[in-house]
Amino acid sequence: MVDDRIVATVIPVLDEEEHIERCLHSLIGQTWPAEKHRILVLDGGCVDATMTIVEQAASKSRAAGGPVIEVIDNPRQQVAIARNIALKRVGENVTHMFEMIGHAWVPPNHLQTRMNDLAVLEASLGVKIGAIGTRVAMSDENLNGQALAIELALMSKLGSGGGQFEQFSEAKQSIVTAFCLHSVEALRQVGGWNEEWVTGQDHDLNHAISAAGWQVWRSPASFLHMAKRKSFIGLSRLGMRYGYWRMRQLISHPKRARMKEFLPWIGTLLTASLIFVGSSFWFVAPTIYLAALILDSIPVAFDRRRSQLILTRPIALFLLHSSFSAGLLWGLAGWPSPVNDRTGRRISEPN
């Protein structure tokens, strides 16, 4: 039977010169047939060498008979808007869209494995899948110091490891999944990405797809690598931005709130209350919290043979928790959104 499925990989970019070449080369070299794969790069106004690198990669792909790489302007810079622009441009023959970013890369068989896995899952369920996400594996970059501590903190269950960085080992339905392969039919049914959200738009889309009657899954059949923040300052800015937009979404969708997101504030308020009333037990909550961070980091430090992680990984976790919590308050106050922590540029908010 002829497989008539066609995939469009969509990559919004904004100053990604450090990683975009590796990202594109990993996509150009896919085992999935080149004639059934299009790569759409949405330029948010790059001022570095990103677009020069993209143009060079497009020429190399064209000369080698690889997938077509098309550059499209995204003047308003936002990821959700970029993906909606791509959704309108893919036409009627593209059946699936793969969401990517310029600082991520995939193994050569990613699309082939992902499409085969999707076909098997849909056949076993007897329904079409609206979206299926992938696992974000440990970065294969040469990481040291703060960068390694940040990587391991984000992948911890005390960090973001229960979300998009969770190292899951079995396929299951899940709203909390990223880097999805989407059914174009499902995307069009729900109207694409909600452009109200500058961050968290993929999570919001998964809710919309599920609410429309489609199933949303995640599968460990393949994986990708993603370059994360390299400094504690960058991590703090990341946490601040994500906390801000998380609160903005919770104001609109309060039922999506999870208790663990507010645990740092609960602990802080409890400690402050005990200090205020003069209790000698005010130190209990901070001590338990600190012990949890250290105990969670000791096995990782031994496994990596990096004793410094016993100190640096708890610091990274603390900065992630505190900055996210500060971002929640920032969003609740309705102040202007934080700048893009990767580029240092402020993304224009929706009107």
Query: What domains are defined for the chain?
Result: 7-230 (3.90.550.10), 233-333 (no CATH)
Mean pLDDT confidence for 169-186: 95
Residue with tokens 């085969």: 116
Q: What is the full DSSP assignment across 26-77?
A: HHHT-SS-GGGEEEEEEE----SSHHHHHHHHHHHHHHTT--EEEEEE-TT-
Asked if the model's pLDDT at residue 195 lies above 90, the reply is yes
Q: What is the pLDDT of residue 163?
A: 81
Stretch 4-14: mean pLDDT:
97
Q: Give the per-residue pLDDT at 346.
A: 58
User: Which DSSP string corresponds to 264-310?
Assistant: HHHHHHHHHHHHHTT-TTTTHHHHHHHHHHHHHHHHHHHHHT-TTHH
Tokens of 25: 């080369």
pLDDT digits (tens, 9 = 90+) for 239-263: 999 999 999 999 999 999 999 999 9
pLDDT at 341 over 90: no
pTM to 2 decimals?
A: 0.93
Work out the pLDDT band at 31, boundaries 50, 70, 90: very high
Check whether 342 has a pLDDT greater than 90: no
Task: Provide mean pLDDT across the span 50-59.
Answer: 98
Mean pLDDT of 265-292: 96
Residue 36 has pLDDT above 60, yes or no: yes
Span 289-308, average pLDDT: 96
Over 70: is that where the pLDDT of 298 sits? yes
Structure tokens belonging to residue 57: 């990669």
Q: How many residues does the chain have?
A: 351
Average pLDDT over residues 113-132: 97
User: 197-210 pLDDT, tens per residue?
Assistant: 999 999 999 999 99
Closest CA relative to residue 38, chosen from 81, 100, 128: 100
Residue 351, pLDDT > 50, answer no
Distance CA 167, CA 164 (A): 9
Given CA atoms 220, 54, 151, 263 in this order, what sign does their dihedral have? negative
Contact indicator for 131, 96 with CB cutoff of 8 Å: no
